Amino acid sequence: MADQQQTGPAQGAFRAVGRGLPRRKVLFALDVFEDCGPPLEAVIALARRLDADVAGLLIEDEDVLALAHHPGTAFLSTLTVARQAVGPTDYERAYRYRVESLRRQIEAISHRRQVQIALQVRRARMEAEVVAACAAGDLIVVTWSYGAPFGGALGRRARAGAAAAALAEAATGSVLLLRDSNPAGAALLVAYDGSVAAERAFAAASELGGRNGRQVTVLLGTRSLEQASVWGARLAERAAAEGLNLVLMQGSSAAAEDLCAAAARLGPVLLVLGADQSLAQAEEGRALLDRVGCSVMLVR
Amino acid sequence: MPSDWCYINNFAEPHRPRALCLPAGRGRIFRRDMERFIDDMKAAIPSAFESDEYRSRKNVIEGALKERHENAFGALQKRAAESDVALIRTPVGLALAPMRDGEVLSPQDFKALAEEDRGARAEAIERLQKEMEEILREIPRWEKEQREQLKSLNHEVTRFAVGHLVDELKAKWSDHPAALTHLEAVRADVVENADDFLQPDRTDDSPLAEMMRRASKGPDVFRRYQVNLLVDHMLADGDSENAEHTAGAPVVEEDNPNQPNLIGRIEHIPQMGSLVTDFTLIKPGALHRANGDFLLLDARKVLTAPFAWESLKRALANKRIRIETPAEAIGWVTTVSLDPEPIPLDIKVVLLGEPELYYLLNQYDPNFRELFKVAADFSDETPRTAESALAYAHLIAGFTRTEKLRPFGRTGVARVIEHASRLADDSERLSTHMSSLLDVMREADYWAGSAGSDIVEALHVQAAIDAKRHRADRIPERIQDLIQRDILNIETDGARPGQINGLAVSQLGHLRFGRPSRISCRVRLGKGEVVDIEREVALGGPLHSKGVLILASYLSARFAGNEVLSLQANLLFEQSYSGIDGDSASSAELYVMLSAISGIPIKQSLAVTGSVDQHGNVQAIGGVNEKIEGFFDVCKARGLTGEQGVLIPASNVKHLMLRPDVVEAARHGKFHIYPISTIDEGIQILTGIEAGKEDTEGNFPIGSVNREVANKLKALSRRARAVVMQAQSRLIGMANGKQPEHPGGRARRG
């Protein structure tokens, strides 16, 4: 079950894509309990930087909807902090109201920012639908609460890393996990280990930061000074060619801790990783995504 | 030296601005200091809040709350997972659902569970729910603590950012306790409202929402630290750093003394469809500006401006200026507005106005005598002496300079001085009504310019006087026209008994003009009454009636002796259709009555004015010049014969300031002015017959007017007695049962 609508004023055709980031559509997926205002503003700013269109995917989670009929479920009001009896009809009505409210909020932002947003509303299982929608976007944007059991209201980090990593593995495009800060204006942080995936991440960071002189900090993931020098020289040459404001830092093989510390030290930052980079893989990757306090882009 | 006064914000009660008194000239300096303080604060506060240290401390506080949340819910989540319970956000709050292997059990699977298992899960959900309730109940307290910590941080940062600024000002104003108190209040308010000075990121606000937000906060959050300098005694070009450059309080004259201009007003500015105000919109009144010195006010203007008089009295009586609108003063408005702290008042108010106003206020306003104790009564004329004439000449010369007029020659000055006497209606006085003189001088200057003369001479002044009169004399000309066409009957030759030309004066605006009026009298047998027909038809005023009653008294005393007057004289102003008053025609009425009684005709070539007393003395009247000129114009139009003239009271001679053409005619004997002291003098001139003085036996000379009058009155008296006796004899006959004989042979009842 799905419906699709165009919101906001009509705009011109898709323009030429940027070098290194062959994205054409930014897909913003959110569940109905998220506050879409700040994240959507960030997505719009990012799409403008990438000359990309914005698509919205609003998911009515079947699992959540089914709770109304579940005989073993208890509902607790966060307003009155008391247990409440909720019938299926009232539950459905409250859900629809929330969806409409969110839709109006998106339309208002679309109108104010003069951006065309193709909004789809689908009733499905959340994670499966997001994975399925990945084919429709070059960049999938989910908020940090994605995958969290309370929809972000409680324990924002819970399971977010695992969910994001799973999504990145399944998705054909890149994935952006949004945190509080706006990645469109933040400094960029790249974890570089010389791999092809790291090269891709650096290219994406160059694309995002090169046009307006944003600082791109590269953490060189090696203890070897010699290796670090080689990588640094190579990156500096490319940065000079592209006019990047490049800062090099040497880390260690235990890069997850180094990344978390660097991100905390740099303030508002967007961490750019290759989706298949070892740092983003397996348990270490999940732990990193859970712990790091900034937005993360996994580049495929 | 009077003080400067400012209004400053009352941070505790903003609707009651505080009044701040500073030494003369210091108000402007204080205002400038506060403006600089605001500028410095605008830079210092955002700078402090943008520092890395502030951000770090703020992040620590915010992070602590998040961590608290995460710790609490993380632990809860862990316990829920251990109990196979899922915590899920829903549109109606949080749901706790049974779970297996990380997935919510479907309803079918849940129903398929063993009874014990379902019970255990229900118990787990119940337990988790209670734990969650405890956490949720704690959240508001955590958030409140976080807000207080942030507020405390903001206060600390703000206090540091503005502290040295306030301290600098306090050191500078250390000798002014009121200013120090205000500066401390400013410091406390800035710290308390630190959040207002930050520029929050409100990119999500729509333009309307942004406008509403600004409206709710007011136009400028720094406005409340401004100083509204109400009274400034620093010189306009004074050095704001130098308090020596001060001006004393001037003598203030308020030309438009309505209530707001007197006691000040509170202005409003439109904002989102409504009118709002604050202490910076308080405007001073004349009382503020003149506080400590003198205020000159036109009494009539103050009295005619609504609420102005009462507000002025209230301020003077209370010795303080309280600004309030008329609606507030009478309790019509109850909405919240400003109630500025009253300012102490020490002032001397000079009310300027006509004497009548002074007497009325003195009589009817009990507060007036208490508030205005010193009366200074200035005359509008001054004696005409050689010294005053010289002073007048100096005055005229001064006016020519200030008004940039041509110089006045000797004849011009003399004519102006004569005109000043004419305005005073007295040849021995000069009018001090300068605006009237200035009008004539300006116009004389014009006529001199038109004639190509560099000097204003008498003919130019006369031209101005004539032109001014000509512009206003439509009505007098109309009356003269009616007389010349014999529609108004005024005879100027011949002689008639019982008819005389009286003289009246009328006033239309500033124009006074005289006009002759025919007075007639008829007499017959009566009871000694003089009937004033004007009074009978309610056209005569009380003064006129008084004059007529004096005539009866004069007649009785002069001619009746011990006998009863037995006549009825009817007096009438012919062709008079409006009210008349005054006793200036009483001598004319007496003359015409004597003529009517005696049957001796009166010369119609003469006109008469003057009042008379019971002894026959003729007394002064007003408007003598206009009256003479009014009759002169009639005679002149018909042709001056040399017989025409006017009888005036001798005591009015000093008031004669006649037109040059009248003077010229009199000089050549073509027109006569007879000063009269007694009725006998007047009747002799009017009839050409000796009036006659009574001898020791009370008899008048034979052939005299008075003899004729006395004889006629005695004849009337005899006739009256005969009539009475005849009537009495009839009554006696009736009492004896005898029918009186009637010439017709028929009985008649008396």
What is the per-residue pLDDT across B273-318, written as a single tens digit (0 to 9) for each? 778 888 999 999 999 999 988 999 999 999 999 999 999 999 999 9
Question: Is residue A92 domain-resident?
Answer: no
Residue B697 touches partner A, C-beta closer than 8 Å? no
Q: For B454-465, write each residue's pLDDT tens digit.
A: 999 999 999 999
Task: Looking at the structure, tell me whether residues A40 and A108 fall in a common domain.
Answer: yes
pLDDT for B48: 86
DSSP-assigned states of every residue in B644-657: -EEEEEGGGGGG--
Task: Looking at the structure, tell me whether residues A53 and A128 fall in a common domain.
Answer: yes
- For residue A278, give its domain range: 187-299
The residue among A178, A198, A229 that closes a domain is: A178
Contact B325, B273 (CB under 8 A): no
Q: For A187-235, write each residue's pLDDT tens digit.
A: 888 888 888 888 888 888 888 776 666 788 888 888 888 888 999 999 9
The whole-angstrom separation of Cα A276 and Cα A278 is: 6
Q: For B39-65, write each residue's pLDDT tens digit.
A: 998 888 888 888 878 888 888 898 888
| Least CB–CB distance from A158: residue in B77, B95, B126 | B77
Q: For A61-78, write each residue's pLDDT tens digit.
A: 777 888 888 888 888 888
The Cα of A178 is separated from the nearest Cα of chain B by a number of Å equal to 17
| Least CB–CB distance from B107: residue in A69, A81, A152 | A69
CB pair distance less than 8 Å for B104 and A63 = yes
pLDDT at B237 over 80: no
CB pair distance less than 8 Å for B96 and A74 = yes
Residue A112 touches partner B, C-beta closer than 8 Å? yes
Task: Looking at the structure, tell me whether residues A154 and A216 fall in a common domain.
Answer: no
pLDDT for A146: 52
pLDDT for B649: 96
Residue B86 touches partner A, C-beta closer than 8 Å? yes
pLDDT for B210: 63
Q: What share of chain B has pLDDT > 90, as a percent?
A: 49
Tokens found for residue B716:
């009337």
Backbone angles phi, psi at B233, to 5 degrees: -105, 15
Domain B384-472 has CATH 3.30.460.80: no
Q: For A127-149, write each residue's pLDDT tens digit.
A: 777 777 777 677 888 876 654 54
- Please name the residue of chain B whose CA is at the shortest distance from the CA of residue A265: B56
Taking residues B142-167, what's their average pLDDT?
Answer: 91
The residue among A128, A152, A178 that closes a domain is: A178
CATH number for the domain spanning A258: value is 3.40.50.620
Tokens found for residue B550:
């004096």
Report H helices in B252-374: 259-263, 286-289, 299-304, 308-318, 326-329, 355-364, 366-371
The Cα of B221 is separated from the nearest Cα of chain A by a number of Å equal to 27
Residue B85 touches partner A, C-beta closer than 8 Å? no
Between B649 and A300, name the one with better pLDDT: B649
pLDDT for A31: 74
Task: Looking at the structure, tell me whether residues A196 and A281 fall in a common domain.
Answer: yes
Interface test with B, best of A33, A61, A73 (most B CBs within 10 A): A73
The whole-angstrom separation of Cα B618 and Cα B624 is: 14
CB pair distance less than 8 Å for B107 and A70 = yes
Q: What's at B77, amino acid-wise?
A: Q
ipTM field: 0.71
pLDDT for B79: 86
Using pLDDT thresholds of 50, 70 and 90, give the confidence band for residue A245: confident
Question: Is residue A83 domain-resident?
Answer: no
The whole-angstrom separation of Cα B669 and Cα B663 is: 10
Task: Looking at the structure, tell me whether residues A207 and A291 fall in a common domain.
Answer: yes
B509's torsion region: left (phi>0), alpha (psi -120 to 50) or beta?
left
Taking residues B193-215, what's their average pLDDT?
Answer: 63
Contact B96, B103 (CB under 8 A): no
Question: Is residue A254 domain-resident?
Answer: yes
- Please name the residue of chain B whose CA is at the shortest distance from the CA of residue A148: B88
Instruction: Give domain limits for chain B.
Output: 48-199, 219-371, 384-472, 477-711
Q: What's at B475, amino acid-wise?
A: I
Task: Looking at the structure, tell me whether residues A224 and A162 fall in a common domain.
Answer: no
Q: For B432-453, write each residue's pLDDT tens digit.
A: 888 889 999 999 999 999 999 9
Q: For B320-377, write each residue's pLDDT tens digit.
A: 999 987 777 666 666 667 889 999 999 999 999 988 999 999 999 999 988 998 999 8
The whole-angstrom separation of Cα B682 and Cα B198 is: 100
Residue B125 touches partner A, C-beta closer than 8 Å? yes
Task: Looking at the structure, tell me whether residues A168 and A23 fall in a common domain.
Answer: yes
pLDDT for A12: 25
Of A233-242, B111-120, B705-714, B717-726, which gets the smallest average pLDDT?
B717-726
pLDDT at B731 over 90: no
Total domains, chain A: 2
Using pLDDT thresholds of 50, 70 and 90, give the confidence band for residue B27: very high
pLDDT at A22 over 60: no
CB pair distance less than 8 Å for A76 and B91 = no
Residue B89 touches partner A, C-beta closer than 8 Å? yes
Task: Looking at the structure, tell me whether residues A112 and A156 fall in a common domain.
Answer: yes
Q: What is the mean pLDDT of chain A?
A: 76
The residue among A178, A204, A224 that closes a domain is: A178
Residue A211 touches partner B, C-beta closer than 8 Å? no
Tokens found for residue B329:
């003063």
pLDDT for B212: 62
CATH number for the region B477-711 comes to 3.30.230.10
CB pair distance less than 8 Å for A83 and B129 = yes
Q: Which residues of A touch B54 (CB under 8 A)?
A: none
Q: Which of B 200-259 lie inside 8 A of A, CB atoms?
A: 203-204, 206
For the beta carbon of residue A15, count every other beta carbon within 10 angstroms: 12
pLDDT for B646: 96
Question: Is residue A93 domain-resident?
Answer: no
Q: Which residues of B touch A145 (CB under 8 A)?
A: none
CB pair distance less than 8 Å for B89 and A66 = no
| Least CB–CB distance from B74: residue in A41, A70, A158 | A158
For the beta carbon of residue A212, count every other beta carbon within 10 angstroms: 9
CA distances to A180, B32, B473, B515, B599 from A184, rounded to whole Å, are: 12, 44, 91, 101, 126
Please state the CATH superfamily assignment of the domain spanning residues B219-371 in this structure.
P-loop containing nucleotide triphosphate hydrolases (3.40.50.300)
Task: Looking at the structure, tell me whether residues A111 and A196 fall in a common domain.
Answer: no
Of A50-59, A180-189, B99-108, B700-709, which gets the smallest average pLDDT?
A180-189
Taking residues B464-473, what's their average pLDDT?
Answer: 88
pLDDT for A1: 36
Task: Looking at the structure, tell me whether residues A162 and A225 fall in a common domain.
Answer: no
Question: Is residue A78 domain-resident?
Answer: no
The answer for residues whose C-beta is within 8 angstroms of residue B202's C-beta and 6 or more apart is B210, B213
Question: Is residue A28 domain-resident?
Answer: yes
pLDDT for B526: 80
